[in-house]
Amino acid sequence: MRREPQPAAGAAIDSGRPIVAVLCERATERPRGLGGLEVDFRYCTADGLAVAVRGARGLLLWDYFSTAVRDVWADAGAVDWIHVAAAGVDTLLFDELRASDVVVTNAAGVFDRPIAEYVLGAVIAHAKDSRRSFDLQRRHQWEHRETRRVTGATALVVGTGRIGREIARLLRAVGMRVRGVGRTARAGDADFGEVVASGDLSAAAGWCDYLVLAAPLTEETRGLVDATVLRAMKPDAHLINVARGALVDEPVLLAALRDGWISGATLDVCTVEPLPSGHPLWDAPNVTITAHMSGDVVGWRDTLAAQYAENVRRWLAGEALLNVVDKKLGYVPGRPVTASWGGSAQ
């Protein structure tokens, strides 16, 4: 559905180059390395987006968790491309945008390895009882204990996209057994071996020592980890969430942690972020909480800007854009990767 372009605002001189509005969380936090691109950027924060977006053909959401686009949609009639500097696009998509012919792209690929490393770190920390070790050190207490092996442990990775696959590859590299959970069941996957249908998650959850959430937030995945799934897990299993907090029923998770349905959780994401200081998750037993930072390694913003710059070059040249999101699915679709007879991806 095409919308009528709105008149441009804010530019006294027309350079003839396409205008791109850039939404920043703070006025001082602009992306670096975009100066040589043949576009005119209008930088703004949420309160100035309605003006900045008028007449703009492109929109860069550097403030990637903002929901401000919905509020200024009537002013964005000239926009034909929106890029989100994040892997998840759940905070952007709304019905009018889904129904439009505006192309949405995201930052798929930037965070894959860092998030996989975070997950491996969480697995090792749990297996080696690091929380207990830190507590003992703070108390200056020497206590010998036995810990678990990582080799041979089992992980069920929910989400078979790029991030989920990188997690699977890294966990397999240290000797873990891995399965995936996706929209449809299949065998012979190059990274997961077996992929279980998401509708069968509760039946599969009892197999794993680690349940890793790496799926996009959609209507199908919202609340996916509920009481049925958590009760089906082993009492010594560990939940790791690097996706979105809303994939998990948090009140039920609190009950599961307090009552010993599972042994603990590592949560990089929560339903409400920042997590309020009085939230009971902070004090739940055997929980490690980080501030939605699993993919944010040194230099990540420059990598995001370089990826966007390449897409701008493609956009100006009329070439296919990278990481085009299926707005109905809510993520960048990819075909399943199956193993050939020799064991490599086809």
Tens of pLDDT, residues 209-253: 999 999 999 999 999 999 999 999 999 999 999 999 999 999 999
CA distance 300 to 49: 25
pLDDT class for 13, splitting at 50, 70, 90? very low
* pLDDT over 60 (residue 91): yes
Task: Kindly tell me the number of DSSP H helices and DSSP E strands found in the chain.
Answer: 10, 13
Nearest alpha carbon to residue 309 among 150, 140, 136, 105: 105
Give the tokens for residue 13: 């001189």
Under 8 Å CB-to-CB from 118, ≥6 apart: which residues? 242, 268, 294, 295
- pLDDT for residue 7: 43
pLDDT (tens digit per residue) in 99-142: 999 999 999 999 999 999 999 999 999 999 999 999 999 999 99
Of the residues 54, 83, 238, 244, only one is catalytic, namely 244
* pLDDT over 60 (residue 23): yes
CA distance 103 to 93: 12
Active site residue 166: no
> Beta 154-158 vs 210-213: how paired, if at all?
parallel
Of the residues 29, 38, 273, 319, only one is catalytic, namely 273
- pLDDT for residue 15: 73
- pLDDT for residue 336: 53
Q: What topology does CATH give the domain 19-108+299-317?
A: Rossmann fold (3.40.50)
Active site residue 273: yes
Local structure of 104: helix, strand or coil: strand
* pLDDT over 90 (residue 286): yes
Q: Is the peptide bond before 274 cis (omega within 30 degrees of 0)?
A: yes
Q: What is the three-state SS of 211-222? A: EEECCCCCCCCC
Nearest alpha carbon to residue 296 among 133, 14, 87: 87
- pLDDT for residue 334: 79
Residues of the chain with CATH 3.40.50.720: 19-108+299-317, 111-289
The residue type found at 336 is P
- pLDDT for residue 6: 45
The three-point CA angle 238-156-116 to 5° equals 80
Of the residues 42, 126, 162, 292, only one is catalytic, namely 292
Looking at domain 111-289, which of 1.25.40.10, 3.40.50.720, 3.40.50.1220, 3.30.70.2860 is its CATH number? 3.40.50.720
Torsion 262-268-269-275 (CA) sign: positive
DSSP state letter for 282: G
DSSP state letter for 86: S
Active site residue 244: yes
